[in-house]
Amino acid sequence: MSAIGGGDSGPGGDRRLVICHLYPEYLNIYADRGNIAVLSRRAAWRGIAVEVRSIGLGEDVPVGEVDLLYVGGGQDREQALVAPDIAGKADQLRAALADGTVLLAVCGGYQLLGRSYRDQAGAELPGAGILPLHTVAGPRRLIGDVLLDCELDPGDRHTVAGFENHAGRTLLDPGAEPFGRLVAGFGNDGESGFEGCRLGRALGTYLHGPLLPRNPWLADWLLVQALARRETAVPVLAPLADTFEHEAHAVAAQRARDRGGRS
């Protein structure tokens, strides 16, 4: 495991976070690494020091040390390379979540956090079994702008804008909670009206773009949840202007609305 980045600290710099990026050399399609950059920078602007570590094949998850885990997307070849390894880390991932660690997984990483993924060649890849779902590749890719309606905290509703490009049809178990409900786009399977999956502080989604630059509220939600692992009081973040971020969200949201519903 190696450090691949960091954050500076300003006033209030006694706050700190450890973010672990799983398989950055394999799962980093569509600029998904940008999500790490957004989290690190938004934390640093508030004087929160961030250490970013990479976790590769055969390396352990530092349970008890990590505040946020991140898994990006990859193509079938890269997923096949990491699938046995992430399945072997299942107990460590569960222990980290039980310790209060936050988890964000995008596209290929999202699929591999379920029980299994059957790729287009028919190979059954093992998953970590963290999220209550499984995925089977479909006959065509689901591609385009997406807009979701999300309510991660009771009464606090937001929209999430992103871009999807996946062949997988992800099926949630009965009673499983989606990340959001579709306003426009295909989502998990093109039929259910759901996108992603949420289990406590663990989020899985198909949304690339990368996801967090155009959804600053979600980046801050993840930071608050990560800080809560270390802090006894409810964490509070100083507000940021987010002018460009809100403009980026508005443009992406309008593209998704113009695209219309699922087709």
Active-site positions read 107, 208
Structure tokens at 107: 């596209």
The rounded distance, in Å, linking the Cα atoms of 203 and 106 is 9
| Three-class SS state of 139 | strand
Whether the ω angle into residue 210 lies within 30 degrees of 0, i.e. cis, is yes
The rounded distance, in Å, linking the Cα atoms of 259 and 68 is 34
> Across the strands, what pairs with 105?
71, 204
Beta-strand relationship, 194-195 and 197-199: unpaired
- DSSP label at residue 214: G
| Three-class SS state of 30 | helix
- How far does Cα 51 stand from its chain's mean position? 18
Count Cα neighbours of 99 within 13 Å in the Cβ-side half-sphere: 17
In 10 A of CB 224, how many CB atoms?
A: 16
The rounded distance, in Å, linking the Cα atoms of 26 and 42 is 25
Helix, strand, coil in percent for the chain, rounding step 5: 30, 35, 40
Q: Which amino acid is at 194?
A: F
In 10 A of CB 83, how many CB atoms?
A: 22
